Amino acid sequence: MRFYHCLLVLFFLGTEACGNAHKASPETLVPVQDTVSTPTQEFPFPDIPDMIISPDDRKAYLLTHYWEQFDFADTTLVNNRNVTEQGFVNFIALLADATTPEELISKSLENWCEGFIRKEHARQILTQTADSYLFNPNSPFYNERIYGLYLEKLLGKLPQTDAMRSSYRFKLELVRRNNVGEKATDFVYYLPDGTRCTLSATTVRNNRLLLIFYDPECKSCHEVLLKMVADTSLAEAVRTSKLSVLAVYTEGNDEAWRKTLANMPEGWIIGSDHEAIKIGALYDLKAMPSLYLLDENKRVILKDAPYEKIHRTLE
């Protein structure tokens, strides 16, 4: 599934809201453009009552009633990406706005799940859409906080006998782990000489530990590691004890791991977890490498962050 970028221009939420601007229209946003087909339908935004003037109140009404006029039983409508995905993208953009209260996000997601939960085709399409936009780290809308809230509401609507409950529950447990401010899950790893170590007992210099989960046979891992190796400021921080770096190999090919040990930077702690993290789902390793910045107490400062962000934070 492609990822679309859209700019939501909320004229109907502006500080100088017009009395007759009570319904969102195509002019209020830059729409998703499909290079293959021309849209023949528009997303059915709800009518916002004229009496609601405050931008915050208008936003709250819009989000609460966002999906009420969308016919989840209409498979043709659901399959129209220009309508369904455009609507979802704008919905998520509103939810992800820093000014949107948590309770409004929760209620809006609950109403959305209530709309599609009993429509098998809509449920299949929309749960896949949520995964692609909110849970894929390559998505510009990647947002574990909103994804976790969505999963909570979805599980609250699903019958206890539904076959997908275990899958959704597993994902929810993953996104709830190792979040910013929390203590990182402890695990065992082994140094090249066989010494058994744990994350909790790993020495942290200057209150900063860069934790890297990697696979040297992974192309993206190779690219990120090359970037880190070339970063002279990172090397200097390790050399002068301003930072500890722990790189943990999470796959099971011991031979492949040992072949690359000589290429790893000096001063890094290099270990292998013998696949314990992956098998136990201790960390979310859906995209590699996975980088965490921890403090001396192993509390998470940055979770699964791109190296550029970690670099800026360290500076």
pLDDT > 90 fraction of the chain, expressed in percent and rounded? 75
Does the pLDDT value for residue 15 go beyond 80?
Answer: no
**Tens of pLDDT along 210-230?**
999 999 888 888 899 999 999
Predicted confidence at residue 17, as pLDDT, reads 36
Closest CA to 291 of 227, 233, 232: 227
pLDDT computed for residue 41 by the predictor: 81
Find, among 152, 135, 42, the residue nearest to 92 by Cα: 135
The mean pLDDT value for 12-26 works out to 37
Give the pairing of strands 188-190 and 29-30: unpaired
Mean pLDDT of 61-73: 97
pLDDT recorded at residue 16: 35
pLDDT for position 289: 93
Task: Out of 12-26, 173-187, 192-206, pick the least confident.
Answer: 12-26
Mean pLDDT of all residues in the chain? 87
Q: Write out pLDDT tens, residues 117-160.
A: 999 999 999 999 999 999 988 889 999 999 999 999 999 999 99
Span 227-248, mean pLDDT? Answer: 94
Q: What is the pLDDT of residues 72-110, one digit of tens each?
A: 999 999 999 999 999 999 999 999 999 999 999 999 999
Mean of pLDDT values over 48-72: 95
